[in-house]
Amino acid sequence: MARVAALYRYPGKGFTPERRPEASLLAGGFFPCDRFYAVENGPSGFDPDAPAFIPKTRFTVLARIPKVAKARTAYDEETGVFNVETDGNGRFAGDLRTDIGRAAFAAWLADFLGPEEVNGPLQVLSAPGHAFTDSPSGFVSIINLASVRDLETRLGRPVDPLRFRANIYVEGLDPWVELDWAEGAAVRLGDARAGVLKPIVRCVATHVDPMSGERDMEIVPALRALYGHVLCGVYLNILEGGCVREGDALELEA
């Protein structure tokens, strides 16, 4: 039986995954506390009063700046404090709910990344009810761990599933079966029910080791050469809200 193996959120877009034992999903909503902060790398045109999708290349993300992975972050929902630790490059802690905290983090990050990675003033962005997802419609992402294992077997080297930065990782499926799920098909996840939107097109963010922050593997060309596509995982839309926990069953409805 297929089951939920792990749940992850990414409070800061491009920054450290945070594993969660459970998540309360809302119909039509994003994964909780996921990508609701992003750091603008030069003017992006984002309007917090009318939030809309902005391509990830306008932010400090792994696809553009692998070094971001070397800033290991943790977010405290109750206090709003964003904590950062690095190897030999200092620490940061600040409340991202405040203008002072955001400005302080932007200044710290600009110094950490260096002028060669900064395209313009860095600015921490957010807007109520908005998440800075990679897709304008894909609010929750899912990865089949059997597909990742098949990829690493063919490559002959380990592939960390966190390279794919998904919200939900599942066990118990056949490799790549998720790419055959029809658009609109319903999936039961614990107490929640979701609809399949589309497969996820992978980008060069997957080339970055999430622990070392080094670009050490060419996942996109490997997918194309081995499978004839550059897909891994699918986006879901939550149809009926509910709690999903590690170990919960995943069932594709007939």
Domain extent at residue 178 = 3-30+135-252
Q: Do residues 63 and 111 both lie within one domain?
A: yes
Q: Do residues 238 and 153 both lie within one domain?
A: yes
d(CA 6, CA 10): 13
The residues, ordered by sequence, that sit 6+ positions from 49 with a Cβ below 8 Å of its Cβ are 127
Q: Do residues 160 and 120 both lie within one domain?
A: no
Model confidence pLDDT, tens digit, residues 19-69 = 999 999 999 999 999 999 999 999 999 999 999 999 999 999 999 999 999
Q: Is residue 130 part of a domain?
A: no
Model confidence band, residue 146 (pLDDT cutoffs 50, 70, 90): very high
Q: Is residue 25 part of a domain?
A: yes
Q: Do residues 109 and 184 both lie within one domain?
A: no
pLDDT at res. 137? 80
User: What pTM was computed for the model?
Assistant: 0.96
Three-class secondary structure of residue 110 per DSSP:
helix
pLDDT at res. 28? 94
Q: Do residues 102 and 226 both lie within one domain?
A: no
CATH number at residue 149: 2.40.33.20
Q: What is the arrangement of strands in the sheet containing 192-201, beginning at the earlier edge strand? A: 18-20, 3-9, 168-171, 140-144, 231-240, 192-201, 186-189, 250-252
Three-class secondary structure of residue 46 per DSSP:
coil
What is the number of structural domains in the chain? 2
Q: How many angstroms from the chain centroid is the CA of residue 52?
A: 18
Q: Is residue 113 part of a domain?
A: yes
